[in-house]
Amino acid sequence: MTATSAQDISARYHFACDVARQAAELAYDFYQRRQQLAVEHKGDDLQDVVSQADREVEALTRRLIAQRFPLDDFLGEESGGSGGSAACTWVVDPIDGTACFLNGLHTWCVSIGVIVDGDPVIGVVYDPNHQEMFHACKGQGAFLNHDPIRVHAGSSLRDGVMGVGTSHRVTPEDFVPFISRLLHAGGMFIRSGSGALMTAQVAAGRLIGYYEPHMNAWDSLPGIVLVREAGGVSNDFLADHGLQRGNVLLMANAEIYSQLSELIQQKIK
C-alpha cells in the first residue's frame, strides 16, 4: 500500500477530524482562561502575536500525528517544518486568529490541511465557539459537521458579502485599491480576523468569496480543499513555492472568481 492510496488518504481524513476536535478542546480551555496567558510579538509586527495556547495546541497536534503517521511530514505555524520528503505533509495552524482569541472574540479556529504528492487533498477547519467542523477530502465533497455544503450560487458581486484579509506582510497599496474597486462595483466585505475561518465560510456559502494578497499555507490550504469540494475554484496557491513562502489567495464560484480577478488587476496563477 502506498501513502497515496485511497484507503490511506481516507485514514488521514478521519484522523484529521479527530485531531482538530482534540486540538480545539485544548484551545477552548485556554480561551476560557486567556487573561492568564503570556503573549509575545513575532518580530517587529505588533499585530502578529503568539501565546502559550498556540504553542501547546500545536505541540499536541504534532505529537498525535507523529504517533499515528510517523513517516509523514509536518509544517506548523509555530514550530516550522520537519524538513523531510514524505508523500504526505500535514500543515497546521493551531489557532488562526490569535489576536481575536486573546481579546475574547469568537472568530478563531483550528486549521489542519494535508498535502499528498504535492496536491492539497484534506482540509479541516474547526470553530469551537460554535461547535462547527468544516471538513473535506478530495473527491468526497465538503461538509459542515454532517451536512453537505456548497459555495454561494450568486452571479454578481452584489449578491453576497466578500471575505477579505490582509497583514503587514504587504503594503496598503497592495490591498486598498481592491477594496475601492469592490465597493464601486456594488460589492461589500468583512474581515473577521481569521482567514482560515472565512475560507471555510466561503465553502459553506456564507461568504461569496475570499481574497488576501498574501496568506500563509497553514491558513490557506484547508479552505482551498473545502471550497473546491464545495463546487468553487481557487488560484494555484502552491505555485512559486507557496507552501514555504505563502501566496495570494482568491476563491469563489467560477463566475464570481472571474469578476474578482478583474478587480485585483494582477496575474494570478
User: CATH number, domain at 175?
Assistant: 3.40.190.80
Alpha-carbon 151 to chain mean position: 16
The pLDDT, as a whole number, for residue 3 is: 47
197 with 140, same domain? no
Question: Which of 116, 148, 180 delimits the end of a domain?
Answer: 148
Q: What is the pLDDT of residues 216-231, one digit of tens each?
A: 999 999 999 999 999 9
13 with 100, same domain? yes
Question: Which of 123, 148, 173 delimits the end of a domain?
Answer: 148
Q: What is the pLDDT of residues 168-178, one digit of tens each?
A: 899 999 999 99
Q: Is residue 268 part of a domain?
A: no
* DSSP type of residue 240: T
Domain CATH number, residue 32:
3.30.540.10
12 with 128, same domain? yes
Q: Residues within the annotated binding site for Mg(2+)?
A: 77, 93, 95-96, 219
Q: Is residue 154 part of a domain?
A: no
131 with 216, same domain? no
21 with 117, same domain? yes
Are 86 and 71 contacting, i.e. CB atoms less than 8 angstroms apart?
Answer: yes
12 with 110, same domain? yes
Q: Quote the domain boundaries for residue 206.
A: 161-263
Q: Give the CA radius of gyration of the chain.
A: 17
Q: Residues within the annotated binding site?
A: 77, 93, 95-96, 219
Q: What is the pLDDT of residues 136-176, one digit of tens each?
A: 999 999 999 999 999 999 999 999 999 999 998 999 999 99
Residue 44 burial class via C-beta count within 10 angstroms: exposed 0-12, middle 13-18, buried 19 and up: exposed
Higher per-residue confidence, 128 vs 50? 128
Chain-wide mean pLDDT for the chain? 92
Q: What are the start-end ranges of the E strands in 77-215?
A: 80-81, 88-96, 109-116, 119-127, 132-137, 142-144, 147-148, 161-164, 188-190, 209-215
pLDDT-derived band at 83 (thresholds 50, 70, 90) equals low
Q: Is residue 173 part of a domain?
A: yes
Q: Is residue 136 part of a domain?
A: yes
181 with 253, same domain? yes
55 with 131, same domain? yes
208 with 242, same domain? yes
Total domains, the chain: 2
**Closest to 195 (Cα-Cα) out of 224, 168, 215, 174:** 215
10 with 134, same domain? yes
10 with 142, same domain? yes
Cα torsion angle, 196, 197, 201, 203, sign = positive
| Entry pTM | 0.93
132 with 205, same domain? no
